Amino acid sequence: MIRFRLGTRGSPLALTQAAMVRAALCAAHGWHDEEVATVIIRTTGDRVQDRALAEIGGKALWTKELDRALLDGEIDAAVHSMKDVETVRPAAIRIAATLPRADVRDRLIGAASVEALPRNARVGTSSPRRRAQLLRLRPDLTITLFRGNVETRLAKLAAGEVDATLLAAAGLARLGRDEVGHAIPTDVMLPAPAQGAVGVEVRAADEVAHAAVGAIDDPATHACIVAERALLAALRADCHSPVGALASLAGETLSLRAELLAEDGEAHVTGSVEGTQGRLCGATLAAELLDRAPPVVRRLFAA
Ligand SMILES: NCc1[nH]cc(CCC(=O)O)c1CC(=O)O
């Protein structure tokens, strides 16, 4: 008997994350593996491999089809890498759980550190944040567009298309590739908001699914993700914006750090805030950063 249907993208990373959610649900409710169905949903982002995602312009590249399947009742919940989830979600959908967060850092593959990259090295990434952060530290680098799932990128690197690339430690670890590359400390490069967090969304009106999924929520991770996403929302930014952000929780106190950059890293602004309320921390820090941002940075963002 199928008790619960989990929707996911079909990439190896997405399937691994869906399996983690399934295992957590089974452990929490005493269900058997075969009682949780994994429904693979193909998304626009999976089909478009050759252009920068930011260039396509459309948002919701990874979530639109999962949202539709969820709202149509084809699935009971959708599993996401939270960093790919749009800043503003439909009112009929809500985040019911985040799994305990993995290593939040990026890993550099191809050199031991950003400083150790050879002069004028070519680094492949399609992330505007990683591009801006790298160019800020190393204006001599050539950043080239790099797409595809984790294994594709590692293959392109091995084939010599670029000298180095950056990938999230969390994704590498989930694919059993944790030994690849070198972790970049978060004080050198702040990760993307919500990097390393797997989230599960349900229909806002589905109390049964909400309760079932809520049982696997990690409240500390959830609080941090709320703060980081609130910052993005206040900036009217999304996962294609040159923004790094990282929250941590000590007791009741949230600490949120963030960085906004110009596209080519020629200017940036960083700051931090502490508080007990994630949404307020995010909004406060966003306003404070916008206030201090150089014009070339400010014009990329909101308000
Ligand atoms: N944008 C792709 C994406 N979305 C989530 C992860 C990694 C897993 C995570 O951050 O939870 C990745 C790959 C990467 O950035 O290297």
pLDDT at 110: 97
Cβ–ligand 1 distance for 167 under 6 Å, the answer yes
90 and 58 housed in the same domain: yes
Domain residues for the domain of 52 are 4-99+197-217
pLDDT at 147: 85
Centre of ligand 1 to C-alpha 152, Å, is: 13
* Counted domains in the chain: 3
CA of 1 to the centre of ligand 1 (A): 33
The predicted structure's pLDDT at residue 63: 86
Of 37-51, 168-182, 234-248, the poorest mean pLDDT is in 37-51
**CB of 196 sitting under 6 A from ligand 1:** yes
Round the average pLDDT of the chain to a whole number and report it. Answer: 94
pTM of the model: 0.94
ipTM, interface predicted TM-score of the complex: 0.97
Active site residue 178: no
Q: How far is the CA of 196 from the centre of ligand 1 (A)?
A: 7
Do 233 and 300 sit in the same domain of this protein?
Answer: yes
Which among 67, 76, 84, 238 is annotated as catalytic? 84
Q: Does residue 192's CB lie within 6 angstroms of at least one atom of ligand 1?
A: no
Give Cβ neighbours of residue 58 (< 8 Å, ≥ 6 apart): 44
Residue 168: CB within 6 Å of ligand 1? yes
Integer angstrom CA distances of residue 238 from 89, 90, 146, 194, 233:
12, 15, 19, 11, 8
Beta strand 106-109 with 243-250 is unpaired
Structure tokens at 184: 């970049």
pLDDT average, residue stretch 88-110 = 97
Closest C-alpha to ligand 1, atom 15: 168
Give the model confidence (pLDDT) of 120-160 as tens digits: 999 999 999 999 999 999 999 999 999 888 999 999 999 99
pLDDT of the residue at 140 = 98
Nearest to 222 by CA among 207, 245, 200, 192: 200
Which structure tokens are listed for 35? 């009682």
Chain position carrying tokens 């949404």: 279
Confidence of residue 255 (pLDDT cuts 50, 70, 90): very high
77 and 201 part of one domain: yes
**CATH code for the domain in which residue 164 is found:** 3.40.190.10
Confidence check: pLDDT of 185 > 80: yes
